[in-house]
Amino acid sequence: MAKICLCLTGKTLERDLQILKKYRRYIDMVELRVDCLTPDERFFIRKFPEMAGLPSILTIRRDIDGGMFSEGEWARISLLSRGLAFAEADRRHNFAYIDLEEDLDIPGIEEAARTFGTRIIRSYHNINGSDVDLTGKIQRMRRVGDEIVKLAVTPHSLEEVHAVMRAAQETTDIEKTLICMGDFGLCSRILADKFGSQITYTSVKGEYGMPKAAPGQIDPVTLTDFYRFRTINDQTRVFGITGYPLKATFSPAFFNAVFNLEKTNAVYMAFPSVSAVSFIRFARDLELSGASVTIPHKEAIVSFLAEKSPAVRSVGACNTIVRNEDGSWKGFNTDMQGFSDSLLHFIGKKNFSGKKISIIGAGGVARAIAAEIFHLKGKALVLNRTPLRARDLAESFGFRWGGLDTAGIALIDKYNDIIIQTTSVGMEPDISADPLDLYKFSGKEVVMDVIYKPAETALLRRASRAGCRILNGYDMFVRQAQAQYKFFMGKEFPADLMSKIEL
């Protein structure tokens, strides 16, 4: 199993040791980032392994590789030598590893390291993107077979993360650590073993002014307590959520909390992906057990399904996929039931009979909502930024439609028992946006916004001030997530768990 390393980026050794003390029980080793220390502190690095009492990596990261060292190569080499000097017979007092970049060619340092039992991590960092021939690169990086290869790249898509995972599968004979930095690479840190990595790097940001060591690193508590890194093994079922940009989702918090409470050997994480096809290809190779699908892939994912539930067939949108034994996918839509259960509970009715409802938006979730309103006997108006999408959706159910312009907004007066906002407008981070700013609430409307982050969108706040009863998307989220659980796990969601989950 990969070891958890905490990168220490303090300005002084004392600060680094304070952080180490706080997180010691979560980690196996530390990386001393000498480049982050003040020049005075760098004199004392040789004593660090003994003070740390854990296997330590000596690293002096250059600015061109994402570090803070800019004083030139000779100054760096002399510091690296200082870190290795006066080696002791008790190896615990020496650095266990030294990080040397693939283009650093100082045989004296390598020899000294080998003599004193300090293992060389031969590293390569691409802070701007990823490389084409990763397998070849990994095979070529080591100078001598006892080195550990560390390759850290910055993928700009899930395809590039996938390429790193494939390179890991093609180089199983090489000891290494493969890291995908940035937002796309979270899975390479949590599923370090699947990426063939010996070490997963963590850091803490902000404490004692510590800068994050590298983009996308998570802290050791999140890794071990939230993602339960120590329990991940060959048998662990991997689930996740895909969409883009995936900045505002409660799903990882919900499912990891459930798995943790139940002690289920499963983990759930975000797989941001710009396209549905690249997610499906990656998910197949990763042998993902199932996934939630969100904006903007709910409709595009349908074409990759071998089996579709009646709900998916009727609305053409899918928010849940589960892998069949042969690697194909079956798809479900839990937004429909989540929505109607939540709104009907809120208004205290069994169906929407007699209700005239405005649906704002015509995307995946709007489709699910329109279908439910139709099946539950309501009448609706669909308004969308792209009016033709509103028309396509509305005509399937005999509803009215329009654009999000003055003429469309004027139609709301005839469909204002309930207004349901289903676009992504107003969601974090752009929380001041209001997709219905042209509409004046009378105060009699029930207003639902399917967004749940923030808890009160600008639209809901305006509606509430006008006297309307308002409902956000949280309850819908929880209900649809519980339905997803049933498809992922093949059993009902244990009702007593919900009160123990904090989102």
Question: Mind telling me the catalytic residues?
Answer: 298
Token couple for 338: 């989540």
DSSP 42: G
Instruction: Report the alpha-carbon distance of residue 125 to residue 134 in Å, rounded.
Output: 12
* Out of 198, 217, 423, 457, the residue judged to bind ligand NAP by CB under 6 A: 423
Instruction: Report the alpha-carbon distance of residue 153 to residue 88 in Å, rounded.
Output: 35
Question: CB nearest ligand NAP: which residue?
Answer: 363
33 is an interface residue for ligand NAP by CB under 6 A: no
Helix (H, G, I), strand (E, B) or coil at 325: coil
171 is an interface residue for ligand NAP by CB under 6 A: no
Matching residue, tokens 């006892």: 146
* Out of 298, 330, 391, 462, the residue judged to bind ligand NAP by CB under 6 A: 298
Region for 10 from its dihedrals, namely left if φ exceeds 0, alpha if ψ lies in -120 to 50, beta otherwise: beta
* Out of 363, 378, 402, 408, the residue judged to bind ligand NAP by CB under 6 A: 363
Nearest distance in Å: CB 497, ligand NAP: 18
Instruction: Report the alpha-carbon distance of residue 19 to residue 21 in Å, rounded.
Output: 5
* Out of 224, 422, 457, 482, the residue judged to bind ligand NAP by CB under 6 A: 422
Nearest distance in Å: CB 340, ligand NAP: 12
Instruction: Report the alpha-carbon distance of residue 136 to residue 140 in Å, rounded.
Output: 6
Contact code string over 10-29 relative to ligand NAP, x by CB under 6 A: --------------------
Residue 211 vs 296, nearer CB to ligand NAP: 296
Token couple for 377: 């006997």
Instruction: Report the alpha-carbon distance of residue 60 to residue 37 in Å, rounded.
Output: 10
480 is an interface residue for ligand NAP by CB under 6 A: yes
Nearest to 124 by CA among 106, 161, 143, 99: 99
473 is an interface residue for ligand NAP by CB under 6 A: yes
Instruction: Report the alpha-carbon distance of residue 380 to residue 481 in Å, rounded.
Output: 26
364 is an interface residue for ligand NAP by CB under 6 A: yes
Residue 13 vs 336, nearer CB to ligand NAP: 336
Segment holding 100, helix H or strand E: strand 97-101
Nearest to 19 by CA among 156, 276, 202, 222: 202
292 is an interface residue for ligand NAP by CB under 6 A: no
DSSP 409-478: HHHGGGS-SEEEE-SSTT-TT-TT--TTTTPPP-S--EEEE---SSSS-HHHHHHHHTT-EEE-SHHHHH
Residue 97 vs 488, nearer CB to ligand NAP: 488
Strand partners, 196: none
Residue 208 vs 346, nearer CB to ligand NAP: 346
Residue 202 vs 294, nearer CB to ligand NAP: 294
265 is an interface residue for ligand NAP by CB under 6 A: no
Contact code string over 318-357 relative to ligand NAP, x by CB under 6 A: -----------------x--x-------------------
Buried b (16+ CB within 10 A) or exposed e, 340-356: bbbbeebeeeeebeebb
Residue 295 vs 394, nearer CB to ligand NAP: 295
Residue 35 vs 475, nearer CB to ligand NAP: 475
Site stretch for ligand NAP (CB under 6 A), options 67-75, 259-267, 358-366, 439-447: 358-366
Nearest distance in Å: CB 249, ligand NAP: 7
* Out of 200, 242, 294, 337, the residue judged to bind ligand NAP by CB under 6 A: 294
Nearest distance in Å: CB 276, ligand NAP: 11
Residue type, position 308, single letter: K
Please give the size of the binding site for ligand NAP, defined by CB under 6 A.
30
476 is an interface residue for ligand NAP by CB under 6 A: yes
| Sheet arrangement for strand 329-332 | 266-272, 237-243, 290-293, 320-323, 329-332, 307-308
* Out of 332, 452, 488, 493, the residue judged to bind ligand NAP by CB under 6 A: 452
Instruction: Report the alpha-carbon distance of residue 456 to residue 432 in Å, rounded.
Output: 11
* Out of 295, 357, 373, 419, the residue judged to bind ligand NAP by CB under 6 A: 295
Contact code string over 373-392 relative to ligand NAP, x by CB under 6 A: -----------xxx--x---
Interface ranges with ligand NAP (CB under 6 A): 294-296, 298, 335, 338, 361-366, 384-386, 389, 404, 422-425, 427, 435, 450-452, 473, 476-477, 480
